[in-house]
Amino acid sequence: MKEQTMRISSTLPDWTRETCRRWWDPGRRLLRCIRRYQHWQGRWGIIGRIAAMSVVVRYRFWSIVTGADIPLNSRIGGGLLLPHPNGIVIHPEAEIGPNCLIFQRVTIGTGGRMLGAPRIGGHVDIGAGAGILGGVSIGEHAKIGANAIVLCDVPAGATAVGVPARVVSKPEACEDAECCATQAL
């Protein structure tokens, strides 16, 4: 299982993950609108502005359908999967790496002890109802458990669970064993 997880790249986006498989595919349709808006924004003068405005109408429809609050100018790497996009909230300044997986009711925003917005590395899996708050950094290939509230950095390849989240498993190379345990006190 670990070999299969590491085969998904944390640097090169797999755009096939965002390809709409059928007409009613709300998560992928919402992402498609965001990608198209970012493509047309600021290009080809009046034609680009008209195209961007038409994309905004579809974006608003899919935002209402999914109940997601993902800004049009989000910094999201390619290959993002939103299998159940209901209630996802992403701060406009948050950065999400390529090939991530985000389940329903996830909040990625400001707050917590660290100032700023979260930076999430490539191929990070975020469970349902999780919250990643403040200027934390989540390393590549990390996993965030369902309903976890992350208030401190999570090293690459680690798994964080709980409220507040603590690292329960980490790769052998991780030297910061008590990262979240000491910050939670």
- Does residue 123 fall inside a structural domain? yes
- Does residue 147 fall inside a structural domain? yes
Of the pLDDT bands very low, low, confident and very high (cuts 50, 70, 90), residue 181 is: very low
- Does residue 1 fall inside a structural domain? no
For the stretch 100-132, pLDDT in tens is 999 999 999 998 677 889 999 999 999 999 999
Tokens matching residue 105: 């009711």
Q: Tell me what the mean pLDDT of segment 64-88 comes to.
A: 93
Residues 138 and 155 sit within 8 Å (Cβ to Cβ) = no
Domain CATH for 111: 2.160.10.10
For the stretch 131-171, pLDDT in tens is 999 999 999 999 999 999 999 999 999 999 998 999 998 76
- Does residue 2 fall inside a structural domain? no
Cα(160)–Cα(92) distance, integer angstroms: 24
Of the pLDDT bands very low, low, confident and very high (cuts 50, 70, 90), residue 178 is: very low
Tokens matching residue 52: 């961007």
- Does residue 6 fall inside a structural domain? no
More confident of the two residues 55 and 178: 55
More confident of the two residues 72 and 177: 72
Of the pLDDT bands very low, low, confident and very high (cuts 50, 70, 90), residue 94 is: very high
pTM of the model: 0.83
- Does residue 117 fall inside a structural domain? yes
**Domain around 44:** 14-170+178-183
For the stretch 11-59, pLDDT in tens is 888 888 888 888 889 999 999 999 999 999 877 788 888 998 999 999 9
- Does residue 62 fall inside a structural domain? yes
Q: Which regions of 29-146 does DSSP assign to beta strands (E)? A: 75-76, 89-90, 95-96, 101-102, 107-109, 119-120, 125-126, 131-133, 137-138, 143-144
Residues 126 and 103 sit within 8 Å (Cβ to Cβ) = yes
Number of domains in the chain: 1
